[in-house]
Chains A and B, each alone.
Chain A
Amino acid sequence: MSAHATTFAVPHRKMAMWVFIGSECMFFGSLIATYLSYKGKSVAGPTPAEILNIPLTSVSTFVLLMSSLAMVLALDAVQRDHTDQAKLWLGGVIVLGGLFLAGQVYEFSHFYHEGLTLQQNLFGSTFFVLTGFHGAHVTVGVIWMATLLFMAFRGKLGPEQSLDVEVAGLYWHFVDVVWIVIFTVVYLIQ
């Protein structure tokens, strides 16, 4: 239907993604608010200071930020009909997103070995649910990008599909921004 004229001259899907992002803000906002309100309330360890590995997470944060750059370049390539570059940058998004997820898997399993489980204390419950839901969002994003890359290899990702990439990109950037907030709130401000 986006081919038809729209009141605000914005494609429906793009507006829908913005609206969805507004809704997601409340979702992550509630998770983060819960994390903050339970901060320091755990009756058992380990505490964030004992267990969080800031250097490692800084690296994965950087990786995720770079994936947003790749996303911008991928959209630009699709809009300019540079399919090969589009494939390259979409692949970049997937690899960087995958690296971030790998870092999270490593971090989670490391924490489990250190004794921080979902059940261990309030920190464990709030930390894993908050970062886990973010990780799930990244996973959905990676699958979405993989679908776009698949379309590119099938030759079905030209400028006329640039809206598909743009909408996926909006989602990807949002998930990145959420991570910046989580990284700041959970890791940096202890």
Chain B
Amino acid sequence: MSAAPAGTMHHESIYSGGIASWLTTVDHKRIGVMYGVTALLYFIVGGVEALIIRLQLATPEGTVVGAEVYNQMFTMHGTTMVFLVLMPLAAAMFNFLIPLMVGARDVAFPRLNAFSFWTWFFGAILLNLAFFVNQVPDAGWFGYANLTSKQYNPGLGIDFWVLSLQIMGIASIASGINFTVTTLNMRAPGMSLMRMPLFVWMALIVQILMLLAFPVITVGLVFLLFDRFFDTNFYVAAAGGTPVLWQHLFWIFGHPEVYILILPSFGVVSEILPTFSRKPLFGAPFVIFSGILIGFLGFGVWSHHMFTTGLGPIADTAFSLGTMLIAIPTGVKIFNWIGTLWGGTIVMRTPLYFAVGMIALFIVGGLSGIMHASTPIDLQQHDSYFVVAHLHYVFFGGTVFGLFAGVYYWWPKVTGRMLGEGLGKLNFWVMFLGMNLTFFPMHFLGLDGMARRIYTYPAGVGWEQWNIVATIGAFVLSIGVLLFYINVVRSLRSGEPAAADPWDAATLEWSMSSPPPEYNFAVIPTVNSARPLWLHKYGPTRDISKHTKEDGTPPQPDHPVERVELPSPSHWPLIAAAGLTLAGGGTMIGLLPVLIGAAVLVVAVYRWAFQPLERPGNPVFGPGGGSG
């Protein structure tokens, strides 16, 4: 994955260097690029899985794949899109952007950051190894017990799923710690919390949600592992246990996970709308606090995924009303976004298209969410195609469109080149059309009683026409996504070079060259405004008048004025991650690989702990520095 951007950059680029430089890098920007490239590759994998699903369902009693393969496809599609595409694509942006946006030269723990990436990377490979040994998980991305037990699911499929989720969970917690500390503790002088960019705010909430949600799924997975490997009784009804315990643990994680997936997109949109309407974000404190409230409430509503489990009317009422409450802060965000556009001079560029598209589509998902927040309605809609429509409006309409908006917006900063504007708009319209063609009919299928996760359905029940429309839509959508990849390749090969601040934006990441120098900031900026660069360019605004234009943050000078030392590359995070994955994945083979993996992990952690962060030969810039 390293070759794609590296080969195309000019000589002094931060991306130059061989494979080894990528394997040992501790630069948050390169790690961000690796997350992004890998996630976009898995996006193709998950997309192909989705197309197989849609082909199978195009006609009644389809014969494209059988029951087994179909169940594997929707399991891998869901798991891939959540853990291998959307989370890492957001992680790519967190990695690349958070230090740039808060005015830092790196993250708090550069090697831990590399460890997070490699652990996730190997965990993702472990999951997909399942295809190569033809033992593919098939119990859904939610893996409800006791269908995942050894009794009902012998073979290694579920083991691949459990172990890779467990390993990727460690990566998420490690990066959650890293970015929480980076955000809280590495802000440039003057950057108070309320001057922090919205994207960083939403990212911070995501980190906290990951830190609090992933341990819960970890425990659920530990129980499942013990049930499968050691014959314990956690989800065994005959021993007095209940499989419903898994549902609680999974959704206490799973519902915050929904916000882990959508809040980055909210952050992206909250950056893009101000830039392209050339106004500050309307009601920024309200957008921030509504984000916090969404994250907080997100922990109290998990059982709305379990209304059909039979919780009783009291619990149904509590979780139903709690879920409805979330609509209020979500609405506040949407109204503030419209308020941002209101009265602006809206520059119609591709990032804005995707950002506005995200709002338009997310509204649909949000409103259908209110429908099944109402327990009785959910008793009909649960596990029907109505919910498939809902979640894809949230995750595709909301998250994918939002993240694509972000990719279009920050691509120039990452690569130093612009993405094609005409192709970008075409990309948007084809995706927008395909998205609605695919997922809107699923509302009707759900209302017409079509259940989820069925590989076949009878002819003559009135589901044919909407299924064929959805399948055609899926191919239109695929063409839309393909246009994106074409745009990316064209930009890397011959894209128009990007200026430091191509969109006339307001935040710190636009104050340095595109792509940024290895040290990010030649001078650590002083921040006097939520829009430091805008203040420098256009002077104070109506509401915030205590600062003058001179208090703005100017563009970065070309070279550091003081000596800047950066951390040395290290291969120990990579080796530690490999050891961890071997120890975890090895449990499927036997004791020996587990012991070898554990030994590698221990040695690597010790070598890492006793290896100074900055060693002779590390990158040094500025006066007295060699490489500057």
A126 to B230, CA, bound (A): 13
B211 touches which one: A23, A42, A122 (CB < 8 A)?
A23
Q: Are B226 and A129 in contact, with the CB atoms below 8 A?
A: yes
A19 touches which one: B191, B211, B226, B238 (CB < 8 A)?
B211
Chain A min CB distance to B517 (Å): 18
Q: Are B212 and A16 in contact, with the CB atoms below 8 A?
A: no
Q: Are B187 and A7 in contact, with the CB atoms below 8 A?
A: yes
Find the B residue at minimum CB distance from A40. B240
Question: Which of the segments A25-33, A81-89, A92-100, A108-116 contacts the partner chain?
Answer: A25-33
Residue A106, interface by CB 8 Å: no
Residue A153, interface by CB 8 Å: no
Q: Are A1 and B613 in contact, with the CB atoms below 8 A?
A: yes
CB neighbours (8 Å) of A1 from chain B are 106, 108-110, 567, 613
Q: Are A119 and B180 in contact, with the CB atoms below 8 A?
A: no
Query: Assuming the A-B contacts A7-B186, A121-B233, A129-B232, are A38 and B219 also in contact, with contact meaning beta carbons closer than 8 angstroms in the complex?
Result: no
Contact with B along A9-44 (1 / 0, CB 8 A): 010100110011011101101110010011001111
Q: Are A22 and B245 in contact, with the CB atoms below 8 A?
A: no
Residue B185, interface by CB 8 Å: yes
Query: Assuming the A-B contacts A1-B108, A118-B232, A122-B233, are A15 and B245 also in contact, with contact meaning beta carbons closer than 8 angstroms in the complex?
Result: no
Q: Are B241 and A38 in contact, with the CB atoms below 8 A?
A: yes
Contact with B along A33-67 (1 / 0, CB 8 A): 01001100111100000000000000000000000
CB neighbours (8 Å) of A8 from chain B are 184-185
A33 to B51, CA, bound (A): 41
CB neighbours (8 Å) of B109 from chain A are 1, 12, 16
Contact with A along B177-191 (1 / 0, CB 8 A): 110110011110001
Query: Assuming the A-B contacts A118-B230, A129-B222, are A19 and B180 also in contact, with contact meaning beta carbons closer than 8 angstroms in the complex?
Result: yes
CB neighbours (8 Å) of B216 from chain A are 26-27, 30
Chain A residues touching B, majority SS: helix
Residue A125, interface by CB 8 Å: yes
Residue B282, interface by CB 8 Å: no
A6 to B215, CA, bound (A): 28
CB neighbours (8 Å) of A6 from chain B are 185-186
CB neighbours (8 Å) of A124 from chain B are 232-233
Find the A residue at minimum CB distance from B107. A1
A147 to B249, CA, bound (A): 36
**How many CB-defined contacts (below 8 Å) exist between A and B?**
113
Interface residue total, chain A, C-beta cutoff 8 A: 35
Residue B218, interface by CB 8 Å: yes
Query: Assuming the A-B contacts A19-B180, A26-B212, A30-B219, are A41 and B231 also in contact, with contact meaning beta carbons closer than 8 angstroms in the complex?
Result: no
Residue B439, interface by CB 8 Å: no
Residue B20, interface by CB 8 Å: no
Q: Are A43 and B240 in contact, with the CB atoms below 8 A?
A: yes
CB neighbours (8 Å) of A118 from chain B are 226, 230-232
Residue B457, interface by CB 8 Å: no
Contact with A along B239-253 (1 / 0, CB 8 A): 111000100010010
| Best-buried of B185, B215, B241, B245 by chain A (most CB within 10 Å) | B185
A34 touches which one: B191, B218, B223, B238 (CB < 8 A)?
B223
Query: Assuming the A-B contacts A15-B181, A23-B211, are A125 and B232 also in contact, with contact meaning beta carbons closer than 8 angstroms in the complex?
Result: yes
CB neighbours (8 Å) of B239 from chain A are 42-44, 121-122, 125
Chain A min CB distance to B298 (Å): 14
| Best-buried of A6, A24, A30 by chain B (most CB within 10 Å) | A30
Q: Are A41 and B241 in contact, with the CB atoms below 8 A?
A: yes
Chain B min CB distance to A1 (Å): 6
Residue B173, interface by CB 8 Å: yes
Q: Are B226 and A10 in contact, with the CB atoms below 8 A?
A: no
A7 to B183, CA, bound (A): 9
Residue B579, interface by CB 8 Å: no
Q: Are B215 and A27 in contact, with the CB atoms below 8 A?
A: yes
CB neighbours (8 Å) of B220 from chain A are 30
Chain A min CB distance to B530 (Å): 16
Chain A min CB distance to B281 (Å): 22
Query: Assuming the A-B contacts A6-B186, A30-B215, are A12 and B176 also in contact, with contact meaning beta carbons closer than 8 angstroms in the complex?
Result: no
Q: Are B211 and A125 in contact, with the CB atoms below 8 A?
A: no
Q: Are B184 and A31 in contact, with the CB atoms below 8 A?
A: no
A16 touches which one: B106, B181, B214, B223 (CB < 8 A)?
B181
Contact with A along B99-136 (1 / 0, CB 8 A): 00000001011100000000000000000000000000
A119 touches which one: B186, B211, B212, B231 (CB < 8 A)?
B231
Chain A min CB distance to B364 (Å): 33
CB neighbours (8 Å) of A24 from chain B are 215
Query: Assuming the A-B contacts A15-B185, A119-B232, are A26 and B106 also in contact, with contact meaning beta carbons closer than 8 angstroms in the complex?
Result: no
Find the B residue at minimum CB distance from A5. B189
A30 touches which one: B185, B191, B231, B249 (CB < 8 A)?
B249
| Best-buried of A19, A29, A133 by chain B (most CB within 10 Å) | A19
Find the A residue at minimum CB distance from B232. A125
Chain B min CB distance to A111 (Å): 15
Find the B residue at minimum CB distance from A2. B108
Chain B min CB distance to A11 (Å): 9
Query: Assuming the A-B contacts A34-B245, A129-B222, are A121 and B215 also in contact, with contact meaning beta carbons closer than 8 angstroms in the complex?
Result: no
Chain A min CB distance to B13 (Å): 24
A118 to B230, CA, bound (A): 8
Q: Are B233 and A119 in contact, with the CB atoms below 8 A?
A: yes
Chain A min CB distance to B608 (Å): 13
CB neighbours (8 Å) of B106 from chain A are 1
CB neighbours (8 Å) of A42 from chain B are 239-240
A26 to B234, CA, bound (A): 19
Q: Are B212 and A23 in contact, with the CB atoms below 8 A?
A: yes
Q: Are A22 and B240 in contact, with the CB atoms below 8 A?
A: no
Q: Are A7 and B177 in contact, with the CB atoms below 8 A?
A: no
Q: Are B212 and A129 in contact, with the CB atoms below 8 A?
A: no
Chain B min CB distance to A101 (Å): 18
A90 to B232, CA, bound (A): 37
Contact with A along B143-181 (1 / 0, CB 8 A): 000000000000000000000000000000100111011
CB neighbours (8 Å) of A37 from chain B are 245
CB neighbours (8 Å) of B187 from chain A are 7
List residues of chain A with CB under 8 Å of any chain B CB. 1, 6-8, 10, 12, 15-16, 19-20, 22-24, 26-27, 29-31, 34, 37-38, 41-44, 118-119, 121-122, 124-126, 129, 133, 147
Q: List 10 A-B contacts (CB under 8 A).
A: A7-B186, A7-B191, A30-B219, A30-B252, A43-B239, A119-B232, A122-B239, A125-B241, A126-B234, A129-B226
List residues of chain B with CB under 8 Å of any chain A CB. 106, 108-110, 173, 176-178, 180-181, 184-187, 191, 211-216, 218-220, 222-223, 226, 230-234, 238-241, 245, 249, 252, 567, 606, 609, 613
- Known pairs A7-B191, A119-B233 / 6 extra A-B pairs, C-beta < 8 Å: A15-B180, A19-B180, A27-B216, A122-B233, A122-B241, A125-B232
Top 5 closest A-B pairs, CB basis?
Answer: A27-B215, A30-B219, A125-B232, A26-B215, A23-B211
